[in-house]
Amino acid sequence: MSAPEATTAGEPLLRVDRLTKTFGGVQALKDVSVTIRSGVVHGFVGANGAGKSTLIRCLAGIHRPDAGTIELDGAPVDIHTALDASRLGMAFIHQEMSIIPGWDVLRNMALGMPYRTRAGLIDWKATRRRAEIVAEKVGIRFSLDAIIDDLSTADQWLVMIARALMQDARLIAMDEPTASLSPQEASRLHGIIRELTAAGTAVIFVSHRLAEVSELCEDITVFKDGRVVRTAVGQRLTSHELVEAIVGHHMELTRRPEPPAHVGEPVLDVEHASDGRLVQDASLQVRAGEVVGLGGLVGAGRTEFTRLIYGAERLRTGEVRLAGRTVRFHEPADAVAQRVGIVPEERRSQGVFLDKSIDFNINLASLDSLRTGRFVPWLRLGAGRKRAQRLIDEVGIKARGADQPVGALSGGNQQKVAVARWLTHDRQLLILDEPSRGVDVGARAELHTLIRDLAGRGAAVLVVSSDNEELVALCDRVVVMAEGHVVGELVGDQITTKAILALSFARAHKQEDVA
């Protein structure tokens, strides 16, 4: 099986006709038809579980469709494996992180596509030369010899993007490629995408950031409940038009929350915290009944700061007080025992057990409440299932039941499971790192409502987000970090995307002024 000849820009490259796919009795794709044109960015948008990622996995050879046809340059093709898709000239950046722990950056970039010598051995010199060119294009500033485990989540995503560019693909599908990137990194990726399409490469671009879809994509397909509900060819739809197509009615994209009815005493009080590396002399306070955002650019130290708070990293200097009492958590389990809920940045590797059921994941943090007796190890499993089902209904998790594996859910529903875990028991503090990453506009609004309700019941909530619009729509106060330092705080109507961005660059500007 070999890749067909190049197609003229703007001409149909790939046609999907009446594709269907069923999982566990639920139709994920229902007679889906889409045409991808050469040299065009084609946006896929829709709610979580609408069918976008399922279609991409069918093209990638991960899933086999039950019915329908796939044509490349007008000729039917059978894609049984990822190797088949690669030979046809297609590359994929999937929503799930697919790195090899323990390997260096170079080997992760070259996975499945290293250059070979005449003897059939890997030609590492040629592979490195290609990787260096791609790394410069993507904006990778770290060494190709760095171990991937030591990189931040954003840098790991850059490696995944670079891997897709290692081969000269005719079509590249990108599923949420900017979800973990800063605005600057996302802007650079947009530039790369435009270069690719100018050279004739077709790009499928999946994103819940509707503004970038509207700006970047010439063709757009809207999915809903496994069907295509709208297609725009050569027509740029606005964010509001996209929202109406996705949810079926108008929805306000960014709206300031009502001020909290009551704000109590400080639940979290951090003073002069440092980790000896990135986080330096950082302080913040979160009171009962309020939602505080932690903003700044990717790499500013926000995630590292929160990991210091709940014990995932060692606090070198400074003090953490919880409800007025000084605490020193040695591991996250210590924080959980003190009624702190944690939703980490990378949900699939850190936030949920993909091979376990929704029931297991939701009840995991509150097993003590299910014991048949204080000193008895047996659990009331029936009570746990009832509680999980109640939260499935309350949070709006789309699943066939509490026994369904979390790995079978869409990204947004996995995130809802990660949040629902902390609703099983009263938490005095909830720390959420990128709670809406990979979550559609409707699910995002539902998560925001949940978070505001938790604060309304007296919980203190700390939210880390790279999406400044999310901070505007959700938070009562926003603390901004830059280069490991807290550089400012915004309150109430001061919270705007422009103000957050200005503070995010404040420290760099100050250093330039001094220089």
Per-residue model confidence as pLDDT tens digits over 44-95: 988 767 889 899 999 999 999 999 999 999 999 999 998 899 889 898 888 7
Which of 39-53, 240-254, 337-351 ranks highest by mean pLDDT? Answer: 39-53
What's the average model confidence in pLDDT over 444-457? 85
Per-residue model confidence as pLDDT tens digits over 406-441: 888 877 788 888 888 887 667 899 999 988 876 777
Identify whether the C-beta of residue 62 lies closer than 8 Å to the C-beta of residue 95: no
Q: Is residue 375 predicted with pLDDT exceeding 70?
A: no
pTM above threshold 0.75: no
Domain boundaries, the chain: 12-247, 264-339+427-515, 352-425
Name the band, by pLDDT with cuts 50, 70 and 90, for residue 108: very high
Q: Is residue 295 predicted with pLDDT exceeding 50?
A: yes
Can 12-247 and 264-339+427-515 be said to share one CATH topology? yes
The residue with greater pLDDT, 258 or 267, is 267
Name the band, by pLDDT with cuts 50, 70 and 90, for residue 509: very low
Q: Is residue 238 predicted with pLDDT exceeding 90?
A: no
Domain made up of 264-339+427-515: CATH architecture: 3-Layer(aba) Sandwich (3.40)
What's the average model confidence in pLDDT over 233-262? 72
Alpha helical stretches, state H, 105-177? 105-109, 124-138, 153-165
Identify whether the C-beta of residue 431 lies closer than 8 Å to the C-beta of residue 340: yes
- Give CA angle at 244 (250, 389), nearest 5°: 85
Span of 29-33, 168-172, 343-347 with lowest mean pLDDT: 343-347
Q: Does domain 12-247 have CATH number 2.60.40.1730?
A: no
Burial class (CB in 10 A: 0-12, 13-18, 19+), 119: exposed
Question: Which 3 state secondary structure label does DSSP give 353?
Answer: coil
Span of 251-255, 317-321, 392-396 with lowest mean pLDDT: 251-255
The residue with greater pLDDT, 319 or 364, is 319
